[in-house]
Chains A and B, each alone.
Chain A
Amino acid sequence: MIAFLGGCFASFGFFFLPVIEVKPNRLAAGLPVGLLEIPGDMRYLLLFLLALTPLLLAFLGDRNRRGWALVAVGNLLVILTLYLPALAGSAYLVGAEALFEAGTRISNPRILTSAGIAAGLAGGYTVLFAGLLDLEGSGASRLVRGLAGAVGALVVVMMLAGGTLDVYSIMVEYHSRGETLAIRFLEHIVFVLVALAAGLIAGIALGLWASRDAKAEDAILYAVGIIQTIPSLALFGILLVPLARLGDARFLSLARDWLLLALIALGAGLVLRRLHARLPERTRQFSLVAVFILALIPLALLAVLIIAFGFEVVLTILTMAELALLRSLTGFAIFVFPIFISAGKRFDLERKLPHYRRLRFLPLLVAALGGLTLLAQGAGELLGGRELAALTIRDFGVSGIGTAPAIIALTLYSLLPLVRNTYAGLKNIDPAIIDSGKGMGFTAAQSFFRIELPLAFPVIMAGVRNAAISLVGIAAVASIIGAGALGDFILLGVNSTSIDQILLGTVPAVLLAVFLDGGLKVLEGLLTSPGIRQA
C-alpha cells in the first residue's frame, strides 16, 4: 500500500511537474523542463517507467522478495532522480543562449532542481521505506536493513563528492560561497546543543518546581508560554543594550560585585531560614520571593557568562588546528566508554577479569582529562596573554550582538517544551511509587534522581526532541544578531530571493534536525529502563 503510494507520487511528479529549471543566471526565473520533455535517449522514459514499477510490485505475494524488489527500486529511484536530470542539465547549459529570448543576461547559468525531483525523491524514499517494512516483517536483521536503506544515500553522497551533481544550482552556490558553510553548520550545531543543555537544566528545574508547588505551577507554565510568543527580533532588541553594558564591564570589578551580590543573597537566605518559622505567613511568602529574586540575579549572570564563554571555548576547541589530535583522542575515549560498560555487562567481564571494574573507567578518565585540557587550551586561546585588570566581560563572549543574545534567546525558546514535558512527566508518576520510595528511606534528592527522573525520562526526552527540532529552526534567526549559523545563508537568501542560497542553509539544517532527532531517539532507547519502555 505504501509502496503503491510512493510509486504514484514519483510517477505523478515525473509526468506532470518539471524536474529541472534551466536558469540563465542566479536570480532570474528559469525554463521549466519536464522529465519526458528532455530530448535525446530512452533513459528518461525508463526512469518514468521505473517509477511505475512499485504499482505492480505492491501486488507481489512473497513478502521477502517484494521487500528486496522495493528496496532496489527505491534506491535506484533516489539515485537516478538526481543523476539523470543532472546529465540532461549539463546538456542544456551548453547551448543555454539559444533557450532564452534576446537581451536576457546569461551569466553563470545553472540548473535548479524543481518539483519533479522533489516528488521523485519523496516517492523513492517512500518505496524504499515500504520495502524496509516488508523486510522487517520477513525477518531481515537490523544491520541488513540499515545497509539496504543507506545504499541510495551513500551513492548520492559519492556523486556529490565526485562532482557529478555540480551542475545543480545549490552546488554552484556551494562552490561560490560555501567556504563558510562548514563553520556556520558547526555554529548551528553548537548553538542548538548549548541552548538545549542550558534549557534542559533550567527546564528541569522549573518543571520540578511547577510539579511540586501548586501556587507556582500556573505562573511558571504561563510564563514559559508567554516567552514563546515574543518575536525573536523583539527579544534581541531587549537583550542588546543590557548585554552591551555588561560586555563593557571589567571582569575584575564585575567579579567583585558578583561576589558581593552572591554574599548578600546567601546571607539573606540564611537569615530567612533562621527566621522562617517565626514569621507570619504573608511575610514569609513575601521574603521567600524576595530572597529568590535576589539569588536569581547572580545566578543568571553566572549562567550567561558560563554559557557565552562556553560557546566561544567550544567553538575554538572545535576549530583550532593545533588541537586536532587531542580532540580526536577525547572523542574516541567518549565513544569507547559506553562500549566498555556494555561489553562488561554483556560478557560479565567484571567477574572474569580481576581489574575490569576499575579498567572500564579508564576511557572516562582519559575523556575527562582530555576534555579538561581542551577546555583549558580553548580558554587560553581566547583570554591568554591579557592583563587581568584589562579583561572585560566582552572578552568572555558576552556582548550585545553575537553569541550571547542568540544563546539566551534560544535557551528561552527551548523552555516551553522542556518545562512542560518535565512537569507532565513528573506529575504523571504514580504517587504510590514516590510514597513507597520515601517510606523506604530515600532522601528527597535520591528520590528525584533515582526514581522520579528515570520514570519521567521518556516524557522529558520527548520534550528534548521537540525542543531540539524547533531549535534547529529557530537557530537560523540568530543570524540577524550577528551570531552566524546557517541563518547567514537562509536570511540573506530570503532578502535577495535567492533560492539557491536559501537551500544552501536549509538542507544542512534539515539534515541536522533529522539526525538530531534520530540520535536523541537512540539515546532515549539506551537510557530508558526496559521496565518502562513503551512496547
Chain B
Amino acid sequence: MIEFKDVIKEYPNGFRAVDDLNLTVRDGEICVLIGPSGCGKTTALRMVNRLIDVTRGEILIDGQPNDEFEPEVLRRQIGYAIQQIGLLPHMTIRDNVAIVPRLLEWDEERIRQRVDLLLDMVGIDPSIHGDKYPRQLSGGQQQRVGVARALGADPPIMLMDEPFGAVDPITRAILQEEFLQIQQEVGKTIIFVTHDIDEAIYMGDRIALLRAGRLVQYDTPDDLLAMPRDDFAREFVGADRSLKRLHLISVKDSMMNNVPCCEHDATLAEVEACLERHHSDSAFVVDAGNGKLLGWVEKTALAESASLAEAMRHAPAASIAVPEDATAREALSVLLSHSFDLTPVIDAEGILTGGVSIQRLQDLVEAPGIHATMQRERGR
C-alpha cells in the first residue's frame, strides 16, 4: 500500500509542483496518475522512490515513511519503468533485466533463471534475444524488456512513467493488453503515469486526475467518466465519455435475458405467439437440442412460408451475435452495422443467452454509479 499524506513539493523559486496531495494506492491495484503536462503527475511518481524529495508531508509504503530507507535501498525494492525505456545500451538484454538482482547481489544462477522467466513472461525469447543489445531490438521489444527489467527483483511496488509512450498505437494496445495479463498473474501495486485518458481508463483500477499539483478527482474509471467532479474533469475526460464508458461495461452485464426466441422445430403458430408476447417483429431461432443460435425469423416472412424452416434466415452466430465477454462498445458497433434493434448475445459455446438493444445501452451510460452493479470485464 502506498499513501501520500499531505505531500507538497515546492521548488526554491516557490513553484509548487505537487500541492497537498492525499492519495492511497491499495495493494494489487493500478493507480493511474493523469493530467495535463505540468500537473505534477511525474513529480508525484518520482517522489515515491525518492528521485525527488518531498518538501512537506510524507509518503508511506506499507505504513512506513519512505525517507526511513537509504534512497538506493528503497529504489531497489521498487520497480521503475519510464517512457524512454532507459535500457542501458552497452549491456545485453539479459544483463539489463539482471540489473536490480545484481545490485541486490543475488547469486548468478538464480539471476539467470529469473531473467529467463521474466523475458518469457513479456514475450521475448531469451535464447534468441537474450544476448543481443538493446539497439538490435524493435521499439516494442525494448518496451517489453523495460517491463521485464522493472519486474527484475520481483518488487511489490512498481512505478511506471508512460512506459508504453514511445511506440506506435497498435503496438501500444498490444503491450497494454499483455501487461494487464501479466498484472493479473503478479498482482503488483502500481502507480502508472500517463497523459492518455484512453490508456488510463483501460489500464487503471483507479484514476487520480491532477491539475496544477492538486488532486481533482480520485475514482474508478467508470465513476470518473460517469460523474466528473467539475468542468475541468469533464473537459479532460472528453465529450465522448459516454462512449468511453461503454468500454468499461461488459455485454454480459448490460444484456437483457428475456429476448424473443424460439426453437428451430417450433410451429409457425408458436413463433407468432412468441412475437406477440414480446411485441416484436422478429425472433431468434435456436437449436432445440443444445440451445445454439441458428438464425432469426421475421414476422413478414411467416405469412408466406409453410414452416419455420422455410421462413427463418440462417446465419453463422459469429457474424450476427456478440459474445458475452465483449464490451458494450463492441455490441454497439454490431448493432449499428447490422441495423438490428436487438443484437443476440451468445456464450462461449454459441448458446444464446440474451440480447442487447441500443435503448438499453443508452439507459446504461446515462445512469450514474453503475460500477456497483456491473463488474468490469476483467473481474477479480
Contacts and interface: CB of A to CB of B under 8 A. Distances in A.
Given A438-B75, A440-B75, A440-B99, A432 B85 contact: yes
Nearest to B46: A439
Given A530-B133, A531-B91, A531-B133, A436 B103 contact: no
Contacts of B133: 529-532
B66 interface: no
A529 B86 contact: no
B90 A529 contact: yes
Interface string A435-453: 1111111110010000100
A433 interface: yes
A133 to B, nearest CB: 28
Contacts of A430: 84, 86
A532 B75 contact: no
Given A441-B100, A531-B135, A436 B82 contact: yes
B257 to A, nearest CB: 50
B91 A440 contact: no
B284 interface: no
A443 B86 contact: no
Contacts of A432: 82-86
Contacts of A435: 51, 82, 86
A451 B103 CA distance: 13
B43 to A, nearest CB: 13
A454 interface: yes
The A interface, classified by DSSP as helix, strand, loop or mixed, is helix
A430 B90 CA distance: 13
Contacts of B73: 441
B84 A439 contact: no
A440 B100 contact: yes
Nearest to B75: A441
Nearest to B93: A531
A43 B106 CA distance: 74
A527 to B, nearest CB: 11
B75 A451 contact: no
B73 to A, nearest CB: 7
A433 B83 CA distance: 11
A455 interface: yes
B25 to A, nearest CB: 18
Contacts of A439: 46, 49, 51, 75, 80, 82, 86, 159
Most A CB within 10 A of own CB, among B49, B72, B76, B88:
B88
Interface string B265-283: 0000000000000000000
A171 B89 CA distance: 52
Contact of A441 (B72, B82, B92, B159): B72
Contacts of A437: 86, 88, 99
Contacts of B91: 529, 531
Nearest to A457: B90
Contacts of A436: 80, 82, 84-88
A435 B90 CA distance: 16
A467 to B, nearest CB: 23
A426 B273 CA distance: 82
B103 A442 contact: yes
Nearest to A430: B84
B134 interface: yes
Nearest to B161: A439
Contacts of A433: 84, 86-89
B303 to A, nearest CB: 72
8 contacts: A432-B83, A439-B49, A439-B86, A446-B103, A529-B90, A531-B92, A532-B89, A532-B90
Interface of B: 46, 49, 51, 72-76, 80, 82-92, 99-100, 103, 133-135, 149, 152, 159
Top 3 closest pairs, chain A to chain B, by CB: A436-B86, A531-B133, A432-B84
